[in-house]
């Protein structure tokens, strides 16, 4: 690999900037942006998992209630 292939750039308003030539403050902001983006994606995944869980639990509750299983027998036997 040559140096040009390894050089990372940032494009803003159609203009490319070599990341290595940017200030430390800007590099830190880029790092924070990447971290925040990763966290946002993770939070979206967690929200989907929670949504599926809530939907499945609601379906299970509905099924149990319509099958006539109130759960009172199970609660009494657990005591």
In the numeric block, the tokens 């900037």 are attached to 17
Q: Helix (H, G, I), strand (E, B), or coil: what is residue 35?
A: helix
* pLDDT over 70, % of the chain: 80
Tell me the per-residue pLDDT of 10-38, one tens digit each, with 9 for 90 and over: 999 999 999 999 999 999 999 999 999 99
Residue 78 has pLDDT above 70, yes or no: no
Name the pLDDT band for 1 (thresholds 50, 70, 90).
very low
pLDDT at residue 53, as a whole number: 98
Name the pLDDT band for 3 (thresholds 50, 70, 90).
low
pLDDT at residue 16, as a whole number: 95
Global pTM value: 0.63
Report the chain's C-alpha Rg in angstroms: 26
Distance of CA 31 to the CA centre of its chain: 18
């Amino acid at each position: 690999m040559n140096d040009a292939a390894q050089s990372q750039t940032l494009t803003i308003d159609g203009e490319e900037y070599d990341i290595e030539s940017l200030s430390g403050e800007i590099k830190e902001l880029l790092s924070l942006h990447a971290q925040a983006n990763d966290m946002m994606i993770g939070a979206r995944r967690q929200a989907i998992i929670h949504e599926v869980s809530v939907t499945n639990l609601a379906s299970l509750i509905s099924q149990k209630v319509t099958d006539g299983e109130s759960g009172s027998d199970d609660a009494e036997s657990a005591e």
